[in-house]
A and B are shown apart, each in its own frame.
Chain A
Amino acid sequence: MPSIWDTIRTRRNNYRIRMEMNQESSGQRKMECSDVNKCFELLESILDGEMGDPGKEVLKEKLAKCQPCFEHFHLEQAIREVLKNKCTKQAVPNELAKSIREKIQEVK
């Protein structure tokens, strides 16, 4: 005979599964990610292009189904963009290349 706790647990699980199915069928994303840290690390690897084509599939699925992943993806993308656009424009001193060539001439 199942205890009352088992019954509650089963009902709760059924309810959760139904909820998730409802969300999926109505095109909504789940609001909580079960393992945010692992998930985000994976998401970052995909964004870094490290997971190849299978990564793109995983990404598509995550973006469609998981709200935290969806938000994280857009935040990560924005950060990458500003880093690339705003942190790479250090002006190289004019004479640097010339002085390197001169030093090389000396050791040749």
Chain B
Amino acid sequence: MSEVQRRKYSQEEKNSIFDGEFMPHIDSMYNFAYRLTFDEDDAKDLVQDTYLKAYRFINSFEQGTNAKAWLFRILKNSFINEYRKKSKQPAKVDYQEVETYYNSDDVDFQGTTDLRAESVKDMLGDEISNALNSLAVDFRTVIILCDLEGFTYEEMAKILDIPIGTVRSRLHRARNLLKEKLKGYAQHMGYNTDEEE
């Protein structure tokens, strides 16, 4: 777009962008990286690599645009290119199966009335966290971006390089999957999941 006309930043400007616009997002970046890799060292490396890349390509960042979305996009691409392959995380669930099943069009969440808002509110952080972590990476990612980090669909579309319509439907599927998981926990933990009371 405006890449051609954009002047290069001076050293001073670079520092001020890096410190003022990039570094404040380190918490969110680490949280995202950790939920992608499930490993502290991998998450640290991923965040560090992302910041180094961000610095190296700082001239392609347009000041005044959304730095957080820009950084998340770099992080997500680095993860796909480098970490996904060598991730230490063993496949706990059969992702392939889950993906195929939930990519079919007739995925309706049937059990709304079975999972109650009250039981969700009573759940522990670990249960929520485990349910989120057990989702296949593409589904996990949209929930992290939307519900944890508050990105808009448009920003998510840019971060993930997918159309907005896909963002919307993937989110819907991801949430249905998450609810199924939470329903499982709720039943297991003996929370009130059925109609009684």
Contacts and interface: CB of A to CB of B under 8 A. Distances in A.
Interface of A: 36-37, 40-41, 44-45, 48-50, 68, 71-72, 74-84, 86-90, 92-93, 96-97, 99-100, 103-104, 107-108
Interface in B109-158: 109, 112-113, 115-118, 120-121, 123-125, 128-129, 132, 143-144, 146-148, 152-153
Nearest to A48: B146
Given A44-B171, A86-B124, A92-B26, 6 more contacts: A37-B109, A48-B146, A86-B128, A87-B31, A89-B125, A96-B48
A49 B152 contact: yes
Contact of A40 (B40, B109, B147): B109
Contact of A75 (B107, B115, B153): B115
B61 interface: no
Contacts of B123: 82
The interface size bin for chain B is 35 or more
A82 B28 CA distance: 17
Contact of A100 (B48, B118, B148, B169): B48
A83 B143 contact: yes
B176 to A, nearest CB: 9
19 contacts: A44-B175, A48-B152, A74-B117, A75-B116, A79-B178, A80-B147, A82-B121, A83-B132, A84-B147, A86-B128, A86-B129, A87-B125, A88-B148, A89-B125, A90-B30, A103-B51, A104-B51, A107-B56, A108-B11
A93 B178 CA distance: 28
Contacts of A107: 52, 55-56
B8 to A, nearest CB: 14
Interface of B is mostly: helix
A44 B172 contact: yes
In the A-B complex, the 5 residue pairs with the smallest Cβ-Cβ separation, listed nearest first, are: A86-B125, A78-B117, A78-B120, A74-B117, A90-B31
B3 interface: no
A92 B51 contact: no
Contacts of B23: 97, 100
A72 B107 CA distance: 16
Contacts of B51: 100, 103-104
Interface of B: 11, 18, 23, 26-28, 30-31, 34-35, 40, 44, 47-48, 51-52, 55-56, 107-109, 112-113, 115-118, 120-121, 123-125, 128-129, 132, 143-144, 146-148, 152-153, 168-169, 171-172, 175, 178-179, 182
A71 B108 CA distance: 16
Nearest to A69: B112
Given A48-B153, A79-B179, A87 B128 contact: yes
